[in-house]
Structure 1
Amino acid sequence: MATDYDAPRKTDEDSSEESIEELKTRRHDKNSGKVDEDEAEAAESFELPGADLSHEELAVRVLPRQADEFTCSSCFLVHHRSQLANSKNGQLICRDCAA
């Protein structure tokens, strides 16, 4: 961007006065705080708590247990064998629950 070094420079007092005047004019402008947003589009993206989702179909493919996985007896999450912390009375515990 080119800069015109010959143009008169404004002092701090001049710029503050202009900004105060701009703020005063904006205060009286009723549309300055409004945002242009399509309400219908915005409403489609919101998920309300307790919304009726009975018409929605959920497709989940359940895989059988793999040889290198275990289910933690504390948090009941399936983890890889590398996350196994210890085993108490045949109960497998993950590293997160053992800590």
Structure 2
Amino acid sequence: MATDYDAPRKTDDESQEDSIEELKNRRNDAKSGDVDQDEVEAAESFELPGADLSHEELTVRVLPRQADEFTCASCFLVKHKSQIAEVKGDKIYCVDCY
């Protein structure tokens, strides 16, 4: 069966335009504010099992850039010299950004 995608999709019930007053009343409904909840509030209400890491401390040893590494001028990641794609003046770009 062929589908006519150019045919109007509204039914007779939907074709009647809502008045401005009806739209204003819908906007002021009590339920309409539920959609506008703050995402942070919603996220704080969820608790994942074993996810309390407040007592943990991260210890990461940061090494300076090595002689065989460079910093990409586009993504600012430190990469090995084998990842050099292009050198434009004093700017070096990696193969991922080129």
- Normalised by the length of structure 1, the TM-score is 0.45
TM norm structure 2: 0.45
Decide which structure has the larger Cα Rg and report it: 1
Q: Which has the higher helix share?
A: 1
